Amino acid sequence: MNQGLEQYYSGDENWQDFVKIAEQNTCLPDDYKMKIVQALKGHYDIAIVVYYRLLDESFEWIYKKNPALENLTPIECLETPDLIERLKEALMRMP
């Protein structure tokens, strides 16, 4: 049963639209891209959006507990499909 932010997940279509916006507005250096994609267990789409939102603070953020993620780290949110949706929704809602 979804109890966190994942219950409000905007859906895959909205996520993909957001990823496209992030790709168009982000110049992610190749060496950094490889490192962040690897750290995020191959989730290229999430890596692009994390960098789009946080730039040079991306690595610090993905390993830090986050209240919006119910005190999980973004890395921990990659463990289940529901938690991935929680992470995606949190990224789309970030100011």
Q: Give pLDDT tens digits for 26-68.
A: 888 888 889 999 999 999 999 999 999 999 999 999 999 999 9
Could you tell me the pTM of the whole model? 0.93
Residue 1 has pLDDT above 60, yes or no: no
Residue 6 has pLDDT above 70, yes or no: yes
Contact indicator for 69, 5 with CB cutoff of 8 Å: yes
Q: What are phi and psi of 26, to 5 degrees?
A: -135, 135
Residue 2 has pLDDT above 70, yes or no: no
Rounded distance between C-alpha atoms, residue 63 and residue 58, angstroms: 9
CB 93: neighbour CB atoms within 10 A? 11
Residue 20 has pLDDT above 60, yes or no: yes
Rounded distance between C-alpha atoms, residue 78 and residue 23, angstroms: 21
